[in-house]
Structures are given as structure tokens and as C-alpha cells.
Structure 1
Amino acid sequence: MRTVRIVALVGAALLAIATAAGTSAASSPKRDPRAIEVQVLAINDFHGNLAPPSGSSGVVNGTPAGGAEYLATHLRNLRAQAAAKKQYTTTVAAGDLIGASPLLSAAFHDEPTIEAMNKMGLEVASVGNHEFDEGWRELLRMQKGGCLPDGDGANNQNSCPDPKAKFRGAKFQYLSANVFNEKSGRTIFPSYEIEKFGSTRVAFIGMTLEDTPNIVTKAGVEGLDFTDEVETANALVRGLKRKGVESIVVLLHEGGFPVDASQFNACPGISGPIVDIASHLDPEIDAIVTGHTHQGYNCTLNDPAGKPRLVTSASSFGRLTTEVTLTIDKRSRDVVRTKSSATNRIVTRDVPKAADLTALVDKYTTYVAPIQNKVIGATSGTISRTNDDSLESPLGNLIADSQKADPSAVTDGKVPEIAFMNPGGIRADLLAAADGSITYGAAFTVQPFNNYVVSMDLTGAQLATLLEQQWSGRNGGAPGNWKVLQVSGITYTWNKDAPEGSKVVAGSVQVNGAALDPARTYRVVVNSFLSDGGDGFAVLAEGTNKFFGGLDIDSLATYLAAHNPYTPGPTDRIDLP
């Protein structure tokens, strides 16, 4: 599947903007008349951060960064500079534009973020795992438009809040080369888009990480098949070559981890999936724009032929944008890698805000205020998600307690005895206002996924397996892979130095003060993501007598209201010897 977009040379209007900004075509260096230059502006992992992100999530090396109003200005300024250099330009994204979003976007099913991307001039985007947070059919609505009959704010969400303006969907094209509908055998979105720059064509292949089914709620991807990134891309290359396309860029929602995150225009000691993927993607692919790991990096990694190839990532939350300059030989129609380059640029907040984005943010800020400002409890100061040495946190304990106590998870008189919460689902500290009040907006920032709480039966033997899965299988290896669940109703001791499969200290596991009985059946509650075996906890998918309760955010809100004011207790549920 493909689409073709014709891109004209950046025109006089943008050139005028460039001149006003102090850049002129006359000052540009001489260009090779045998080549054209294409500016590719790239972002990834925006996650609905329309307002400038706060705290450590809103800085890059100490510089305040991000916010849709500033991102739009930076993108427009960069395009104006391209106009001054008589370059072509296009804007792309490598996934997770939506999902795990702040309430300003999530309360409206991320419609505001799609509208913002339309205004910013985004043209193509690969699909990330979080695009599936509300299911793949909802993602199709993000592309095509339309409103949900969600009851005008029911469950603290409201599709199309302006009765005079319907949601029209994305003007940009989502791409998903390796995501297939199992029934039709076709991709849910086009595999690639070919953009025409003068007489030269560039193909952008959109790729979702193959591991998506393991890290999103099962219902969101049911009926879909995710294929290997490398095999899928390489197969498409052969077809593109037959069509005469020589310049190819992959937009890949998978990435890596440099050892020094501050060096965002390098890739020091980079590790992670991108290293292996880059070493196997067809040498005909000229650049790889990545995402998913929320890291900023920019360098070359060798392709299978041993030749350097650009690999980039623009961090997350709109704090960086990558400017790639592709030099393309007019005769061969192929990218000249030695003359192409990339630069990650901080989206600083020292530029004027884009007025049209300000209007959009202000509109939805007004709509969200009644939801966001509702007080649901109180505490003193911040309830932290920072782990102690045993990898237990005060906020993790609170969330686990709230789910264990949630009456919506009780069925046939079976009250959950134990709760588990995945650490990756705790997205921020729980911040109280100056007067100690906790708002729904603050709670939603902590748990933005709208998972359901699910109670189930597990044997003591299965619980023992579950605990060991925190450090084995997909969660095995280096400490950075470990996923220690936050718990309620169960205590244990584990040894960091013990081998995989034997880290829990024998005889240390207790359930509400009694030793774990391998033969006994326990009632356990988790969120729906974990219930499906997410994050490598496969044994949870084996649970029986499953019962779906309410939303996890409602569990937290109800618990805080019932324990008002809330005082965090000690982190004494998980121990080290």
C-alpha cells in the first residue's frame, strides 16, 4: 500500500518569512547544481504534550524546552531557513504522537493533539505502540475523523466538546508497514508514502515496534498481527526499487539508549534494539528516524555493507526536533550520504508562541478545567514514585492499595487479597497543591492510560512464578530491564545477586501476614494491561475467573477520597537481605 505526495519547492511566502527572520538566499553557500537538498524535520514521542512539560520532563540539559506553541514556531522557522537555501522540506514523526498524554489532550481522546499536528504541518507519521492505547479502531478515527458518543464528558472524557466543530481527523498520513489486519491480511494504514521533490522521489516507510502486543492492552491490538521490522522494511525496499525510488527513509518506532543522554547530537555507547536493527536494514535505506526510548541521539551506524548511515531520535514531549538534510543526486536519484547531515535542535521557549497553537491550547484548557480542577483528596507535599533500594516506592504502594480496595473489582463476594502495579504505568509523582489538595488532573498525570482493574484467581505457585518474572524472561539481564511490581497485601525479600529464577528469598513471601501456600488459590487484582500478560508477566494471562471492574484512575480517586488526608506509609513491603 502506498500514497504519493508531491512537494513543491519551498515558495515565496516562506522565503519572505526567512528574510524577515534575518536569513537570505544570497547568504546561502553555493549548492551543487547536480543535486537537490531536502530538509526533513522529525519529531517522536510527543505524547500529547500540548502545554510545556514540567519538571525534569520539560528541560534538555537544563534548558526549558517543549510545548506545542514553541514547537510550531521552531518548525516554521526551520522551514523558513530551508526556503532561504532553496531546499525542499517535509515534516515527519516516528510514533507515539498520542497516548499516555496529559489530561489536556487525553480528556478529549487526543483529538487536540491531532489538530495541533495538523496546524504544525506534519505530513507523515509512523504508528507507535501508544497510538493503540484506545484500540486500533479508535486510531482509525484519529486518521479519518468523526466524534464518539461518549456522553458529553462521561468518565471524564469528551469527544468533540465544541458542538460547532466536529473532529476532522489527521491531515497527515499515518503509516504502519508491519501492522496487519489478521482477517484481511492488509496493513491498517499504508506501508509507506512517496513524496516527490521536483523530479526526485523519496519514500518514507512507517514501522511500529514488533513488540507492541507485549506492552499495550490486549484489547487494543486484538485482531492485528505485528511482523518483524527488518524483514518487513527490507521486503518493501525491493518493491520501491522496482518503482524507481532510490531514496528511502525509515520512520521506526523503536530505538536505543546512549550512555550519556546529554550528548543528544551523538550516540555515545549506544545500545538497545536499534543497534541490531540498523545493522540488518537493507543498505538501500538511506536514513533511520527512530523513537520509543525517549532518548535524544544523532549519529551514523554502519549498514550491512559497512557504510555509515544516519540514525536519529528527537527525545520526547516535543523538547527536540531533528533537522535532517538529505543531499540527493539528480542523476542517480539517490541520497549522497557523505553530503547529508542531521542536527538535533532544542525546542527552546525563547521564541514567540505560534498564535494558532495558543488559540488551540487555550480553547481546550477552558474545556478541561472542570475535569482537571476537581479536588479528590489531600496530602502533605509530593507522593514520590522514586524507588528505594528494593525498588519499592511510596506512590506505587498507594496505587496498589487503591486497586486492592476498589469495590468495583469485587465479584460474587470475592474480595482481592493482593494487588500488583507495574512501575511503567506510574508516569509521574503525585503532586499536591500548596494547600495540600490533590486534583483529578494531578492524579491523571500519574495514571493516564485508562486501564481497567481486573480481579482474578491465581494459585500460590503462580504467584511465586510471577514474582520471579520481575527479573527473568523479558525482564531478565541487566538491572535496567528489571520490572519490580508495586504490591499490596503481599511482602517478600529478594536478593539482587541471586541468579535469575531464584531471586526471591525462600520462605520470605507472606500474604497478609501468612506464609504463601503454593496450593491455595488467591484473589488478585491488577490493571488490564498486566492482566493480559503485559511487561513480560505472562503468568497473569493464565489467571482464571477474571472480572473487569472500573478504571484504574477511578480506583485512585476513590481511595484518596476515602483516606482524606492521605499520609504515605513506609516502604516496607519489599525487602533486601
Structure 2
Amino acid sequence: MHLRNGLLLVSIALALTACNDSDLTLPVDVKLIAINDFHGNIEAADGITLTSTDPKDPSKTIKTPVGGAEYLATWVKNLKLKNPNNVVVSAGDLIGASPMISALYHDEPTIEVMNALGLDFNAVGNHEFDDGSAELLRMQNGGCHADKIGCADGKFDGAKFKFLAANVQDSKTGKTLFPAYQIKEFQGVKIGFIGMTLKGTAGIVTPAGVAGLDFKDEVETANKLVPELQKQGVETIVVLLHEGGVTVDKKQNECNGISGPIVEIANKLDKAIDVVISGHTHQAYNCKINDKLVTSAYQYGGMVTDIDLTIDPITRNVTKMSANNLAVTRDVAKDPTQTSLIEKFLKLVNPLKERVVGTVGGALSRTVNDAGEMVLGRVIADAQLLATADKDNGGAQISFMNPGGVRADLTPDANGKVTYGQLFTVQPFGNTLVSMTLTGEQIDKVLEQQWNSAASKIMQVSSGFSYVWDQNKADGSKVDIASIKLNGVVINPKGSYRVTINNFMASGGDGYLEFVNGTNVLGGPQDIDSFESYIKKNPALAVPTTERITRLN
């Protein structure tokens, strides 16, 4: 009897071994769930929509509301249920330039929302550095902000997910600000996730916020990490990159006519890298470039990329991969945990958010014309000028506004009313105004610096200031100084002029480096305060139509 039982146990053991050996040869399926450019949009907002063609009438389009953490969490949860081998990732700008519900509490609400959603990794983007590296480290590690605003529950524990920053290094030590990569293992197969921001980050954020940091080349950084990952048995490699491209027809699951930095980067990345999840341009695309799956999921949580990988457990290489950009529609059940979090923060911010500040005569759009001007940009520049025109407040004659600082249209209700929350959505950075003296030559120089980067950054200008630029002229020679006028008079190259900008621009942000050389610098009010004051002082504010910038050719 004992012998018979012993033989039975041996038979069972051999069978289990054979079964396990068989399992080791089966392909491993892994699901990646990706977002990018969330920007603290935890609340479902009316303005976040996706446009599609009306199937009943191709000449018409349909706008579908998307996004909101309550719905995004449900979409993510449903995708997770399809495969227990899953990872939720973000390609940067998770925080920064956020709506009031998150920004007022230093984006702690977004971190809490993402903790509850189950985010695993977030590659830092440029907006993660809006308030400096020390504040970003607080987002990861926790602790209350020095101004005591935040910590709604008396404490802030920080992110449960990992920030990644492979190409962000301390200038002195060469160490990365956050880990360069993380590894996840599924059924014995390892996947490496490298996280990076664009190498040009230092030029598009406040210099003080990135002081002491170096931003390295994306391709060089990722390629150097490949051998290190392979030594650890990693052959499946995913890059989370806060840099992107633009397509021609905006089809969410294609890359027709794609251009921009992402194309060159993907073409130069090591062949061992399988997937590039990108962002920064707020576009939706999905295709293969250089045999790599390259994706981007729109913006503000309005879309999620569903990526499926099949991996050979022996070679540990990807044998099959596919992706699908899915609209985060609001026809699913709200996630109750997210609803509870959002309601908690809405109670704190709503009284301030819903306060009516004044009226405007029509919608103020941030859509730019051929010359690079926007209606809303004109209004903001005028508001800044008014706030600093008095001699005691700066004596400004001219005001400039960077286009990237204008984050949303300003659309009044049926009675023309606009709220403080709307103003905050337009200008969420909390910048202060700075007045300085520049010569006419310096003004000309800073205007030329609008074309110093891959994407032109045409400043919005205040009433009374005008100039002409020629797109066919070389960079550095696009503006004829004789065309620059103040109140109809050509500026004097050697003359002195008082100019108002925000502190981001004053420190050389967006590549406007000549502002650093301004003299007699005087600090002013916050940008949003000047905006609110201007709206209050101009009831039923007329929409400005006169163009101030002229483009030739």
C-alpha cells in the first residue's frame, strides 16, 4: 500500500513538472494602459471633447464629451479586467497647468486620484517642473507645502506610483532626479520601462525651477540604458517619453503625415526598444516607426491607449504587439472612489471657483491667426499693461504675453458672465508680473528670439504696439526694426521703454533670453489678479478685433 501511494505521488510530481515545463514555453501576454498630458484634469469638464464625423451626415461633425477621473478610472479598470498582466503608465505632464480643483492644492488632488486609479509609472514632463524640482520631489515623497495650502486631510503621503527621469541629472553629481527606469515581471518575463522628458525642458519652464539640473538627449539616454537592462534579463523595453509629433489628418489610430521630434527619435532608438509611449504635443496617434510601436493618447484624460504585447518566454522578445487609442467616453459608470475624492476637493474650491468676476461681450479665443496672434492673448497683454502702467507700479508702455501661458478659451455664459474659475483655467501658473527697461534694440532682439526653437512662440502684444515679420527671412532677421511701432511711432533703437512680462519670461523662459538683460526691474501683481481687475474695470468687455502683428508672405 505504501509502495502504491509512493508511485502515485511520483506520477503526480512528474505530471506537474511536465505541466510547468509546458507553461514556461507558452507566450506571455501583457497589457499596457497609457495616458499622457493629463494636466490635473480630474473633474469632467465641458470643454474636453473629441470631434468625429457624423455617420448620418458626413458633412457634419459630432463633439463627444470625454475625460474626467471618474470615467477614466472605470475605463482603466475595465481594461485591467481583460488581462491580469497589466501596467498603467503616463508619458508626462501628469501635473502642472492644472484646473483650479487640482492647482489650488498644489496638484495633491491629482496625485491622490492617480494613486486610487492604480497608476504605476509617470515619466516626468516639462510641466512637472513648473514649481521646481524640490516641489516635484514632494509630489513623490509626500509632506505638506510650505504655504500650508494643501494637505486637506492634514497630511500628504505623496505618490504611490514612481516618477521616472532617465535624462534629468543633477549637474554636480550626475545622478538622476528620479530612477531612470523600473522593471515589472510577469510569469518570469521582465519588462523595462524607461521614463524621460524632452531634452528642451530647461528652455520652456522657469529657469529657477530647473536650476542645477541637466536635461540630456533622449536617444543617447535611452540607448545607453539598453545594455544595462539586458544584463538584468530584460529584452522587452518600453520608453515613456514626454516628446511627440503632429499628424496631418488627426486620425487617432494612424500617423498620417506625422512630423516632429518623435519621428527622428524613434528612428534613432536602439532596435531592442519595442514601444514608445509619447506625449507633449497633445495629439492622438498610433502606428509603427522603425519597427517600434509609437503612440500618444490626446490630452486631459480624454483618451487612453490600450496596448497588447505578446512575449516569447524563452527569448524574452516581443513577438506580437498592437495598440488602440480609445476615447474615454462618459457612458460608463462613475468610479465611486474617484467621485468621493473629487467631491472632497470641490467643496474646498467651489466658493472661489464660482465667484463671478465680470462680463465680456463674447467668447475670447486662444486660436492663433496667420501672424501668431490670438484674441485672448491681446486681452491678457492689455490687462498686464493696465496693471503696471502707473509709474508707481512699473510705468509700463508695452506688455508681452507668452502664448504657452494661455491655457484655454474664455467663454462667458448666456449673460456674458465669467467666473474666477474660468480665469484660473486660462492662467493657472500663478506667475507674477515684472516690469523692466529695454532699449529699442533689445525689443527687436527679443522679438527675433520668438523663432529660436523648433516651434515658433509668437508673443501676444498690448494695444498700441505693432510690428511686421517676414516668414521667408532667416531666423534672427525676420523682424525689420523699422516696422516696430509704439502708438504709431517707430521705436528708437537707442531709446528706453518700460516693458511688462511675467516672471517666467523674465527669467528667459520659452527662449526669450534678452529679457534677462532688462534693467530697473520691478515686481508686480499676480497675472490672474491683473486679469480679474481688467475684466472688472471693463464691463461687457468688447472682443478686440484690430490686429497688432502683421506677417508677410
Structure 1 and Structure 2 fold alike (TM over 0.5): yes
How far apart are 1:273 and its partner, in Å? 0.4
Counterpart among 134, 137, 154 of residue 134 in structure 2: 137
Does residue 330 (structure 1) correspond to residue 304 (structure 2)? The answer is: no
CA distance in 1, matches of 2:43, 2:144: 23
For the Cα contact (< 8 Å) 1:201–1:245, is it kept in 2? yes
- 1:440 matched to 2:420: yes
Select the residue among 457, 461, 464 that pairs with 1:483: 457
Q: Which amino acid aligns with 2:34?
A: A
| Aligned residue number for residue 353 of structure 1 | 334
The equivalent residue for 2:99 is 102
Deviation for aligned residue 1:209: 0.7
Measured after TM superposition, the shift of residue 509 of structure 1 is: 1.8
CA distance in 1, matches of 2:383, 2:363: 17
Q: 1:270 aligns with which of 239, 258, 264?
A: 258
The answer to whether 1:72 aligns with 2:73 is yes
- Asked if 1:181 corresponds to 2:155, the answer is no
Note if 1:473 corresponds to 2:455.
Answer: no
Residue 224 of structure 2 aligns to a residue whose secondary structure is: helix
Match of 1:177, SS state, is coil
1:410 and 1:201 map into 2 onto residues whose CA distance is 63
Q: State which of 310, 335, 340 in structure 1 corresponds to 2:293.
A: 310
Flag the 1:301–1:572 CA change in 2: closer, same or farther, 3 A.
closer
Per the alignment, residue 7 of structure 1 pairs with none
Which ranges of 4 or more aligned residues in structure 1 deviate by more than 6 Å? 409-413
Structure 1 Cα separation of the partners of residues 246 and 31 of structure 2: 26
Deviation at 1:566, TM superposition (A): 2.4
CA contact (8 A) 2:394 2:522 kept: no
For 2:409, the equivalent position in structure 1 comes to 429
Amino acid across the alignment from 1:363 = K
Distance 1:569 1:329, change over 3 A: closer
What is the Cα deviation at residue 243 of structure 1?
2.1
Distance 1:125 1:413 in 2: 42
Q: After TM superposition, give the deviation of residue 538 of structure 1 in Å.
A: 2.4
Tell me the CA shift for residue 227 of structure 1: 0.8
The one-character-per-residue Cα deviations of 1:255-312 (angstroms, maximum 9, x if unpaired) are: 1111111x2111111111011111111111121111111111111111xxxxx11111
Q: CA separation in 1, counterparts of 2:183 and 2:481?
A: 59
Instruction: Find out whether 1:43 has 2:40 as its counterpart.
Output: no
Q: Deviations over 1:114-143 (max 9, x none)?
A: 111111110111001111111111111111
1:251 and 2:240 correspond: yes
Asked whether the equivalents of residues 178 and 207 of structure 1 are also in contact (C-alpha less than 8 Å), the reply is yes
Match of 2:191, SS state, is strand
Match of 2:286 in 1: 298
Of 204, 207, 213, the residue aligned with 1:215 is 204
**C-alpha distance in 2, partners of 1:547/1:217?**
18
Partner of 1:284: 272
Q: How does 1:150-229 map to 2 (within 5 A)?
A: 150-151=147-148, 158-163=149-154, 166-229=155-218
2:387/2:393 contact within 8 Å kept: no
User: 1:60 deviation in Å?
Assistant: 4.6
Taking structure 1 as the reference length, the TM-score comes to 0.86
TM alignment of 1:354-369, pairs within 5 A: 354-369=335-350
| Mapped partners of 1:414, 1:76: distance in 2 | 53
Correspondence for 1:561 among 508, 532, 536: 536
Residue 548 (structure 1) shift: 2.8
Q: Is the 8 A contact 2:394 2:436 kept in 1?
A: no
Deviation of 1:225 (Å): 0.9
Distance 2:426 2:392 in 1: 31
Task: Call closer, same or farther: CA 1:413–1:295 in 2, change over 3 Å.
Answer: closer
Structure 1 residue 419 and structure 2 residue 399: aligned?
yes
Q: 3-state DSSP class of the match of 2:483? A: coil
Are the structure 2 counterparts of residues 127 and 522 from structure 1 closer, same or farther at C-alpha, using a change threshold of 3 Å? same
Q: Distance in 2 between matches of 1:413 and 1:313?
A: 45
Does structure 1 residue 387 correspond to structure 2 residue 368? yes
What residue identity is the alignment partner of 1:461? E
Please say if 1:398 is aligned against 2:379.
yes
Aligned to 2:4: none
Q: SS at 2:342's partner residue?
A: helix
Greater Rg over alpha carbons, structure: 2
Structure 1 counterpart SS, 2:83 = helix
How has the CA–CA distance of structure 1 residues 517 and 169 changed in structure 2, closer, same or farther, with 3 Å as cutoff?
A: same
Q: Which amino acid aligns with 2:380?
A: I
Aligned partner letter, 1:448: P
1:459 maps to which residue?
Answer: 439
Q: TM-score, normalised by structure 2?
A: 0.89
Matched, 1:115 2:124: no
2:83 paired residue number: 82
Q: Name the CA distance, whole Å, in 1 between partners of 2:216 and 2:247.
A: 26
Q: Measure the CA separation in 2 of the matches of 1:52 and 1:196.
A: 34
User: CA-to-partner distance for each residue in 1:424-467, whole Å, 9 max, x for gaps?
Assistant: 21111212233322211011111112222122221101111222
1:414–1:425 Cα change, 3 Å: closer
User: In the aligned structure 1, how far is the partner of 2:394 from the partner of 2:423?
Assistant: 28
Letter in 2 for 1:253: H
Paired residues, number = 519
CA distance in 1, matches of 2:543, 2:288: 47
Please give the per-residue CA displacement for 1:384-438, whole angstroms capped at 9, x wherever unaligned: 223344333332111111112224x878774111110112211112122333222
Structure 2, unpaired ranges of 5+: 1-22, 53-62
Alpha-carbon distance between aligned partners in 1 of 2:224 and 2:472, rounded to the nearest angstrom? 44
Q: Report the residue type matching 2:37 in the other structure.
A: D
Instruction: Please list the CA deviations of residues 459-485 of structure 1 after superposition, one character each: whole Å capped at 9, or x if unmatched.
Output: 101111222333x3325xxxxx33321
Q: What's 1:23 paired with?
A: none
Q: Please state if 1:534 is matched with 2:534.
A: no
Deviation at 1:33, TM superposition (A): 4.8
Q: 2:409 and 2:428 mapped to 1: Cα distance?
A: 13
More divergent stretch after superposition (229-238 vs 374-383) = 374-383
Asked if 1:63 is matched to 2:64, the reply is yes
Look up the SS of the partner of 1:482 in the other structure: coil
Q: Distance in 2 between matches of 1:548 and 1:506?
A: 28
Which secondary structure state, in structure 2, belongs to the residue aligned with residue 259 of structure 1? Answer: coil
Quick one: distance in 1 between partners of 2:391 and 2:237?
54
Shift of 1:37: 0.7
Contact preservation (8 Å) 1:149, 1:159: no
The letter for the 1-side match of 2:309 is L
Match of 1:373 in 2: 354
Match for 2:123 among 116, 123, 126?
A: 126
